[in-house]
Structure 1
Amino acid sequence: MSINMNSLEPLVSVIIPTYNRLEYLKQAITSAIQQKYQNLEIIVSDNCSSENPQAMVESFQDSRIKFWRHEQNIGMLGNQFNAFKMAQGKYVASLHDDDMWNEDFLSKLVPHLETNPDLILAFCDQYIIDGDSKINLAATENNTRSYKRDQIVAGVHQNFTQIGLMDKSIPTAAACVIRNGVLDWDSIPAEVGGMWDLYLTYLCCVSGYGIYYVPEKLTRYREHEQTDTLLSGSRNTQAKIRKAKSEIFCYQIFMADKNLQEFHQYFKKQWLTANTTLGIGLLRDQQISAARPYFWQTLSEQKFNLRTLVALILSFTPRILSNKILKIS
């Protein structure tokens, strides 16, 4: 389990899936190499980028780096979990190719997992940076408050469904270390799509293990025009449709889980919201007949939902008028 046989530190597998972000990738790899925690394997999995990053990766001349390049694009989810399945470490940590870690990220999280074998993951808070790698303090504080990480007590949490699935406080894809071997990477269905990190959090919540929170900002999450979360919240119709479909699938799974029945109403509300969002996305994409069932589904469960009702009415209005309204919705 350890590359460095003289090290007392367990091996940590750093997963870096990448696609067409050469300069950002270089910064991400640098932040992994510069970790104070040194017993690493760094798995860079390229999803058939137009510009092969192999030469840049090899320029680091670091034997801990393993480079894998797919011969064809297998999708974001496939690339991510292919890398997870390659991991040989006792622990795994996902690092997006456009994000960075502080040098003490691993050294402050891994020891908590080593001390307590009943923990499945350890996580921290994060900075928000822009396309030029500058910290946005206002966005950072807003991010912390939005995900209620400012309200989480430092230390061990045994029952963390509220933290993980309702507050979505755990940045599974960007700022946590996971105990490898507990989760079955092959069991994660393709339908989770871009919501794979939420589904991964769900699997951790029902695993029977606990988690540990370190209330420090130890990672740097980059927000720029290609960030998935910005795309899905923008005018990018296809990104909105993809995200809504993934949410619908995830919340259906959560609602059906008998272990999570106390949270059923919350999951149902999120599921209905995603139905309306998908319908609006389909309307924008001129798929009117495909959109209406999602509005009817929501209204059959919530007799009065203004957002859904307006969207349904728009689906019956002249296309020119509805398009103008949808562009500002």
Structure 2
Amino acid sequence: MSLLPESQQPLVSVIIPTYNRPEYLKLAITSAIKQTYQNIEIIISDNCSSENIQALVASFGDSRIKFWRHQQNVGMLANQQYGFKIARGKYCASLHDDDIWNEDFLSKLIPPLEANPDLIIAFCDQYIIDAQGKINNIGTEQNTRAFKRHKLAKGIHQPFYKIGLIDKSIPTAAACVIRNDFVDWDSIPSEVDGMWDLYLTYLCCISGHGAYYHPERLTQYRAHAQTDTMLSGGRDLQAKIRKAKSEMFCYQVFMEDTHLKEFKNYFQQKWLEANTTLGIGLLRSEQIAEARPYFWQALNKQKFNPRTVAALGLSFTPRFLASKLIKTSK
């Protein structure tokens, strides 16, 4: 599909939320500016960084860049949503401050959306890079296979409940373009927190519109110590607790949605797993009384689960012994 002349190209809003990562941010902005698709606005929403982000942004001297700095830290979700809410483009795309787009990212994802007005989203595959920006070839292939994009056919998928919410093939936070007026950005509740990208995928899925998959790797997702997915994986206990709460909220919503009734058992299982994960997080933070109800809730609604039973047992173990055992729990 060929692009229209630049004067006729629809505006695309590039949303870059940022917080205290100026060196990475510089690379992200550069990758947006260098897009071969040029009719863009770049919205940088700074979550009250202690670093002088505004000076860095100004150094680019690009009139397409719009900068906003929150006067206090409003949290990751609110910072992200601010950019979406003020976006003027026909399409919008999220670019995290530590990620990078290939120069042809937009030029390859916009044409399918323009050609088919019933599409709500177009997405691609992605590379995994390390903190220094080196491509992790093994990690990249593992990522593609983990989210089943290696089996996903190029082209239109409609409906796309399974690839969006079960396989989680759509990297909504870093490698997609969304038709702006098809999404009510105010309908994303604060409870989704760090799971906002999955919830956004959900909104796209239930819209009734289609998705387009372009199988090339057109973005670079940076996996490093400060990545939210790394933190929630156990390096930061509070991040783990927040993620579990977000998962419980999302899967509860999905379970109750009649659009998704064929997947209700799957979402219920994920909700139960999140209960146990939250309980373990509270247990590790020595909030024992608060942890137990989540274990009981999980056990009452599923068959015997060794992970949940073991965690519940630990909550009744003397603290000096339990503290050693809990450290090995996931």
By the TM > 0.5 criterion, same fold?
A: yes
Which amino acid in the other structure matches residue 197 of structure 1?
D
Paired position in structure 1 for 2:318:
318
Identify the residue that residue 45 of structure 1 maps to in structure 2.
Answer: 45
- Which secondary structure does the structure 2 equivalent of 1:37 belong to? coil
Which digits, 9 at most, give the CA deviation of each residue in 1:216-263, with x for residues without a partner? 100000001000001111232101100000000000000010111000
Does residue 105 of structure 1 match 2:105?
yes
Equivalent in the alignment of 2:19: 19
Q: What SS class does the counterpart of residue 177 from structure 1 fall into? A: strand
* RMSD of aligned Cα (Å): 0.9
2:95 corresponding residue in structure 1 = 95
Equivalents in 1 of 2:219, 2:6: separation in Å? 28
2:8 — aligned with what? 8
Distance 1:154 1:235 in 2: 36
Equivalent residue number for residue 153 of structure 1:
153
Deviations 1:279-321 (A, max 9, x none): 0000001000000000000100113000000000000001122
Q: Matches of residues 5-84 of structure 1 in structure 2 within 5 Å?
A: 7-84=7-84
Letter in 1 for 2:167: D
Alpha-carbon contact 1:280-1:311 (below 8 Å) kept: yes
Q: CA deviation at 1:114?
A: 0.2
Which digits, 9 at most, give the CA deviation of each residue in 1:42-86, with x for residues without a partner? Answer: 000101000121111011011100011111111110000011011
Tell me the residue number matched to 1:256: 256
CA-to-partner distance for each residue in 1:145-177, whole Å, 9 max, x for gaps?
Answer: 000000100000011111000000100010000
CA contact (8 A) 2:6 2:38 kept: no
For residues 262 and 320 of structure 1, the distance between their equivalents in structure 2, rounded to whole angstroms, comes to: 46
Q: Name the SS for the 2:182 alignment partner.
A: coil
The sequence identity of aligned pairs, in percent, is: 71
Q: What aligned pairs does 1:229-268 form with structure 2 within 5 A after superposition?
A: 229-268=229-268
Tell me the number of residue pairs that the alignment of Structure 1 and Structure 2 aligns: 325
Match of 1:187 in 2: 187
SS at match of 2:243: helix
- Say which SS state the counterpart of residue 96 (structure 1) adopts: coil
6 and 173 in structure 1: CA distance in 2 versus 1, 3 angstrom threshold:
closer
The residue type paired with residue 226 of structure 2 is Q
User: What is the TM-score normalised by the length of structure 1?
Assistant: 0.98
Kept in 1, the 8 Å contact 2:237–2:281? The answer is yes
Higher mean alpha-carbon deviation, 234-243 vs 152-161, is at: 234-243
Residue aligned with 1:266, SS: helix
The answer to whether the Cα contact below 8 Å between 1:235 and 1:327 also exists between their aligned partners in 2 is no
SS at match of 2:38: coil
In structure 2, the partner of 1:297 is: 297
Aligned to 1:139: 139
2:75 maps to a residue whose letter is: G
Query: What residue is the counterpart of 2:220 in the other structure?
Result: 220
Partner SS for 2:181? coil
Q: Match for 2:88: what amino acid? A: Q
Q: Secondary structure at the match of 2:9?
A: coil
CA distance in 1, matches of 2:320, 2:149: 44
Structure 2 residue 90 is matched with structure 1 residue 115:
no
The separation in 1 between residues aligned to 2:235 and 2:295, in whole angstroms, is 20
Does structure 2 conserve the Cα–Cα contact (< 8 Å) formed by 1:148 and 1:167?
Answer: yes
**Amino acid paired to 1:39:** N
Partner of 1:274: 274
AA aligned to 2:188 is: I
Amino acid at match of 2:14: V
Amino acid at match of 2:306: L
Other structure's SS at 1:74 match? coil
- SS across alignment from 2:72: coil
CA shift for structure 1 position 133: 0.5
Task: Quote how far apart the aligned CAs of 1:137 are.
Answer: 0.3
Q: CA deviation at 1:323?
A: 1.4
Aligned position for 2:175: 175
Amino acid of the structure 2 residue aligned with 1:75: G
Structure 1 residue runs of 5 or longer lacking an equivalent are: none
- Alpha-carbon distance between aligned partners in 1 of 2:25 and 2:320, rounded to the nearest angstrom: 43
Q: Following TM superposition, where does structure 1 have runs of at least 4 consecutive aligned residues deviating by more than 2 angstroms?
A: none
Unaligned runs of 5+ in 2: none
Report the secondary structure of 2:214's partner residue. Answer: strand
CA contact under 8 A between 1:91 and 1:177: conserved in structure 2? yes
**Distance in 1 separating the partners of 2:10 and 2:31:** 19
* Whole-Å separation in 1 of the counterparts to 2:71 and 2:298: 42
